[in-house]
């Protein structure tokens, strides 16, 4: 009998704790995405839960820069010798907008478009490179945002399919 009471109390305690933490976490999540104050470099739309400009999530440089940073050291078909590409992981950007989908449709400034499967994010950790060897990318050297894959770490992605997913001058991501 006493053991039963103990069990019920334990379950009740857990429920109260869960409720407490849910309340604590919910408003924090909702506040993550502030509004851009500088020029918008990237917009994310589609299956996302966080918006800051109508139905889309718009990012200026400071917002991208504030996301957890990542880096990839690799050679590429365009740069030859290995370089360090740094910026937010695509995964960090997607979690900041609550993205839940199967495919990402990427569009660049030159209207180049390509779809990448969501699995790429876990498999290869692509990075939204804002810098190359510490120097900010600009439109002339394929910036301001260049989606980089770790080509040197996984020889099987050093192919045209993945070079084609390495979008430069990235402008838009649609979560589908
Ligand atoms: N913005 C943009 N990114 C792009 C492309 C493009 O045309 N525009 N081409 C893709 C393809 S198909 C490949 S193979 C690589 C290399 O393109 P490049 O060698 O023609 O520069 O960039 C990819 N990223
Ligand atoms: Mo290509």
pLDDT at 17: 64
Residue among 109, 137, 167, 169 to mutate when testing ligand 1 (max atoms within 8 A of CB): 167
pTM, full prediction: 0.84
**Percent of the chain scored above 90 by pLDDT?**
80
Q: What is the 3-state secondary structure (H, E, C) of the chain?
A: CHHHHHHHHHHHHHHHHHHHHHHHHHHHHHHCCCCCCCCEEEEEEECCCCCCECCEEEEEHHHHHHCCEEEEEEEECCCEEEEEEEEEEHHHHHHHCCCCCCEEEEEECCCCEEEEECHHHHHHCCEEECEECCEECCHHHCCCCEEECCCCCCHHHCCHHHHHHCCCCEEEEEEC
Q: Is the pLDDT of residue 163 over 70?
A: yes
d(CA 136, CA 129): 9
All residues with CB under 5 Å from ion ligand 2: 160, 164
Residue 162 CA, ligand 1 centroid: distance in Å = 10
pLDDT, tens only, 102-149: 999 999 999 999 999 999 999 999 999 999 999 999 999 999 999 999
């Amino acid at each position: 009998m006493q053991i039963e009471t103990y069990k019920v109390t334990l379950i009740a305690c857990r429920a109260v704790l869960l409720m407490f933490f849910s309340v604590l976490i919910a408003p924090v999540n909702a506040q993550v995405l502030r509004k851009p104050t500088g020029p918008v470099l990237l917009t994310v739309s589609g299956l996302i839960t966080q918006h800051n400009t109508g139905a889309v999530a718009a990012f200026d440089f400071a917002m991208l820069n504030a996301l957890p940073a990542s880096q990839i050291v690799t050679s590429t078909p365009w740069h030859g010798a290995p370089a360090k590409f740094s910026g937010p992981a695509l995964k960090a950007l997607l979690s900041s907008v609550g993205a839940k989908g199967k495919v990402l449709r990427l569009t660049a400034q030159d209207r180049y478009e390509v779809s990448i499967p969501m699995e790429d994010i876990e498999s290869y950790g692509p990075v939204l490179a804002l810098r190359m060897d510490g120097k900010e990318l600009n439109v002339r050297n394929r910036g301001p945002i260049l989606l980089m894959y770790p080509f040197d770490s996984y020889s099987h992605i050093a192919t045209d399919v993945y070079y084609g997913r390495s979008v430069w001058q990235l402008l838009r991501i649609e979560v589908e």
